[in-house]
């Protein structure tokens, strides 16, 4: 979670520390602890995350549309 530990906080800590990263965002769908997301990042990175996610969503939607047009997706 953005504030406080999430269901997958231990995994995110492991990833962040083992890769010497300034931030990690993890989204889990249907994991052993259920679906959730977890963020560990500096405040400077956290303020950029909403814009990054919006840009990602636009790109994902474009890819989905392209795959539909190519008949690779229902």
User: For residue 48, what pLDDT is reported?
Assistant: 96
Average confidence (pLDDT) over 10-18: 97
Please tell me the distance from the alpha carbon of residue 52 to that of residue 24, in angstroms, as a whole number.
13
**pLDDT of 2 higher than 80:** no
**pLDDT of 15 higher than 70:** yes
* Contact of 46 with 2, CB cutoff 8 Å: yes
Q: Where are the domains of the chain?
A: 1-41, 43-74
Please tell me the distance from the alpha carbon of residue 45 to that of residue 68, in angstroms, as a whole number.
34
User: For residue 1, what pLDDT is reported?
Assistant: 47
- Residues 16-56: tens digit of each pLDDT: 999 999 999 999 999 999 999 999 999 999 999 999 999 99
């Amino acid at each position: 979670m953005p504030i406080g530990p999430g269901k997958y906080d231990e995994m995110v800590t492991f990833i962040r520390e083992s890769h010497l990263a300034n931030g990690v965002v993890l989204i889990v769908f249907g994991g052993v602890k259920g679906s959730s997301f977890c963020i560990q990042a500096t405040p400077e990175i956290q303020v950029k995350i909403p814009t990054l996610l919006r840009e990602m969503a636009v790109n994902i939607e474009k890819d989905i549309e392209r795959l539909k047009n190519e008949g690779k997706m229902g």
